[in-house]
A and B are shown apart, each in its own frame.
Chain A
């Protein structure tokens, strides 16, 4: 009950911020429409919906880091944190309370992305359901990045790091906008060392029905998610307790 009460409060805080809705849902949808419009007017295959939709779904998830980071950083900047710490909430209650409302938001965000993609020509089949499941580790990864950023930074800094830096990193290094082989070299090596391109490739493989290709990419994402989430939980506990002192 305690966790649910806290999660419910966090869900309301997140959903009542119009910027969250605009960036979390509106922006990825606008990009889908825009890039599909470009595709329909050029003779080469730049943004085929089967490749674009999973990429935009991952890009949209990067905004989840911004939401979670901002919420935690704002709580840290007010006396509301003291009230929370004085309550009988345990450390695991806090982590769950911040994480639980974001996971359904991330899934809904991906569903909306695929629904819009359907109207742009994406085939609807069981593979889309698989893609939604494949995107869950990526969603947890982005929630963890937000948890980490919110624990360490102020809300303004979170806006810069998660709202600008992370979203750009995901945009450029995920292979959503262009084939990484076109650039190659250190750029491709760096992109492959990060989880974003693997999240996109795993979701693309799921949409395409290339099941054998999913796991190798998904393992990258899961490994990153486990490491970042563990780090985020540790930093969150340490930082928030020191903030209350």
Chain B
């Protein structure tokens, strides 16, 4: 069974088509990146897949449950690390993690146990008693991803996880994401092409709401007859390359 299967997934805002008949299949354990310039439809796609926004038409089935008809079932299997800071500012790192575990149904004892595990695996012990608002951007992002993983999601959406981070913090977060590969299905959106290139099993390139190409980095470069992934991306995202 695929982790995610979309069928003509479409989102319209009045006359504007944000996502147009998207058909995608993502396998379990895959790290799948969605790339595109601003307004390509990446974030709208993520919002539909994570049940934040209802599709205008079409559907997406996540591990057997439809986002259109069973959003609550889908929500139990997924988690999201949104763009920007998504932490409760006046709560400590530990409290933030316990809160999210509770929101996903863990009782107090389970929440404490899971929090301890996440603090250890994400190296958050030195800041566990610090309020989230006092953390640096890098620590906040790390906490944000730990909060997304504490519910043991089968599918994880990472929306621009390294936006605004310095190069060291970014590489640090890459290592964290790499460790998750194969264990969780990850859908990543990013503007950093080198990030998608380094982390992804497969990449989808969207432009003007439509899927332009899907494949591995090598497949995309080969299809566009380019030597650099950036050139392949430009060819596909600007519409100069044929759809794959």
Q: Is B86 within 8 A of A78, CB to CB?
A: yes
Q: Which of B94-111 contact A (CB under 8 A)?
A: 95, 98-107, 111
Interface residues contributed by chain A, number (CB under 8 Å): 25
> Contact partner of A83 among B72, B86, B95, B98, CB < 8 A?
B86
Number of A-B contacts (CB under 8 A): 89
Within 8 A of B (CB), among A136-180: none
- Tell whether, in the assembled complex, residue B52 and residue A245 are in contact, meaning their CB atoms are under 8 Å apart: yes
Q: Are A82 and B86 in contact (CB under 8 A)?
A: yes
Whether B78 pairs with A79 at a CB distance below 8 angstroms is: no
Cα separation A4 to B84 with both chains bound (whole Å) = 26
Q: How far is the CA of A87 from the CA of B75 in the complex (A)?
A: 6
Check A86 against B52 for contact (C-beta < 8 Å): yes
| Chain B interface residue count, Cβ-Cβ cutoff 8 angstroms | 39
Task: Please measure, in the bound complex, the distance between the C-alpha atom of A9 and the C-alpha atom of B95, giving whole angstroms.
Answer: 8
A5, A12, A79: the one within 8 Å of B86 (CB)? A79
Q: Which of B128-176 contact A (CB under 8 A)?
A: 131, 147-148, 151, 157
A contact residues around B79 at 8 Å (CB): 86-87
User: Which residues on the B side are within 8 Å of A78 (C-beta)?
Assistant: 84-86
Contact B91 A9 (CB under 8 A): yes
Least CB distance from B74 to A in Å reads 9
Determine whether the beta carbon of A244 is less than 8 Å from that of B90.
no
Instruction: Find chain A residues with CB under 8 A from B76 CB.
Output: 88
A12-B72 contact given A86-B52, A88-B104, CB 8 Å threshold: no
Closest chain A residue, CB of each to CB of B99: A9
CB distance from A14 to the nearest CB of B (A): 9
